Structure 1
Amino acid sequence: MGGLFHHLWVYVFGRVKPSMRRMMRSAIGGVLAAILGLTAYVAVILAIGIVLAQAFGVITALVILAAATLILAGVILAIVSGMNHQTEKRAEARQREAAKRLPSPMAMQMLAGLPALMRGRSVLTTLLIAGVAYAVAKNQGVGSDDE
């Protein structure tokens, strides 16, 4: 019996270890790439600083590098802020569109009463429910040629 559970475990969860290994390799690779990228960034900044220091002096070179870094950071923040604003506007537009598709409050009240009507299960109840569904569908514009 234990062998059966072992085989079921391997069948159901057998892919967990390979995906965990793949995630770990990706995480380690990402960390190493980030470290190497930061090392390259620091080397480029140092090289630019040395060139500027030879041309303008150490203090002026540091001020130029700091100003350039601050300007670049400001540009990046402005771009990210703009992208976030656009995302929020798209989400609000989707919410408005979803709200337009909701039934009217009166239709919602009629739909809320349907479970109580279903308990009787008579033919008259079925016809009434079909009528309510038809009215809600027509209210939503189903079957119209406008779309």
Structure 2
Amino acid sequence: MWCSKVLVAYDGSAPSAKALDLAQSIGAQDERIELVFAHVMKLFALGTGAEGPLIEEANRVHAGLQQLAERVPNKAHAHLLKGTSPADLLLKCAEDEGCDLIVMGSRGKGGVKGYLGSVSYAVVQGSPVAVLIAKDAPEAGSADATTEREAR
């Protein structure tokens, strides 16, 4: 088995949804592969009154990941990571869990399309284990999609 425990970072963005799909595909290769789903709640607005919606959203996403963990055939569980540095939290979680692969989206909700996001970049640079970056599929009208169709 080429990996035994996979950390999957999920923030609700399209690339992170793709990361969930990829991780489940990897898990489908061998039910002994353990999946660790992680969502980061960035703590930057605490005490301002803005934390209520952030906490509710983080809890909602975490609950969804817990439900996914119960549905997949692999051993799986979900973490809600809280802190100020998402990349550091993900790297620490991967280390603490003994993961040998990290799967994440190319950019998060705030990322600029076409560029590797700051969290993804930091994880790739800081990770001692392999990192698989999931990208969005090109949009139907984009130049990349047109080139891809012409190549077929």
TM-score of the pair, normalised by structure 2? 0.20
Larger relative contact order (C-alpha < 8 A, sep ≥ 6)? 2
TM-score of the pair, normalised by structure 1? 0.21
Q: Give the structure with the larger helix fraction.
A: 1
Q: Give the structure with the larger strand fraction.
A: 2
Which one has a bigger Cα radius of gyration? 1
